Amino acid sequence: METMTAAIDALARRGFTENLSVVGNRLHVAGSRATFQPTDLVIREHRRFEGVSDPDDMAILYAIEAKGGVRGTLVDAYGVYSDPLISAFVRAVPLEEKDR
C-alpha cells in the first residue's frame, strides 16, 4: 500500500515538482505568479487514497501538466470532504493518463 507522501515523492522524481492550488477558476503554482485555466492543463495521473480506519483520511492526488511544461501535484479530499471549487475545476481539465 502506497502512502500519499510516497506517491508525491515518486511523482516529483518524474518531474511533477510544483505545488499547485485552485483559487477561483484558476490553477496557481505556489511561489510563482503562474496561473492556468483548465484548457491549459492535462491530468496525467490521479490516485485515490483511503484511510484504513478513518474516513477523514480519504484524498485524491492529481499529477497535472500545463502548457509550457509546468508539472506539479494537486491534492483534494475525497468524498464528502472534497473542496467543491477544486472538484469543479478538475472536472474541466482533460484526463490523459499515460502508463506509469
Three-state SS across 48-81?
EECCCCCHHHCEEEEEEEECCCCEEEEEEECHHH
From first to last of the 100 residues of the chain, give the pLDDT tens digit: 588 899 999 999 999 999 999 998 999 999 999 999 999 999 999 999 886 655 556 899 999 999 999 999 999 998 888 899 999 999 999 999 765 5
Tell me, yes or no, whether 50 lies in a domain. Answer: yes
User: What's the pTM?
Assistant: 0.89
Tell me, yes or no, whether 66 lies in a domain. Answer: yes
Tell me, yes or no, whether 96 lies in a domain. Answer: no
**Rounded distance, CA 92 to CA 100, Å?**
23
Tell me, yes or no, whether 8 lies in a domain. Answer: yes
Range of the domain at 50: 4-91
Tell me, yes or no, whether 32 lies in a domain. Answer: yes
Tell me, yes or no, whether 61 lies in a domain. Answer: yes
**Rounded distance, CA 12 to CA 91, Å?**
23
**Rounded distance, CA 100 to CA 35, Å?**
26
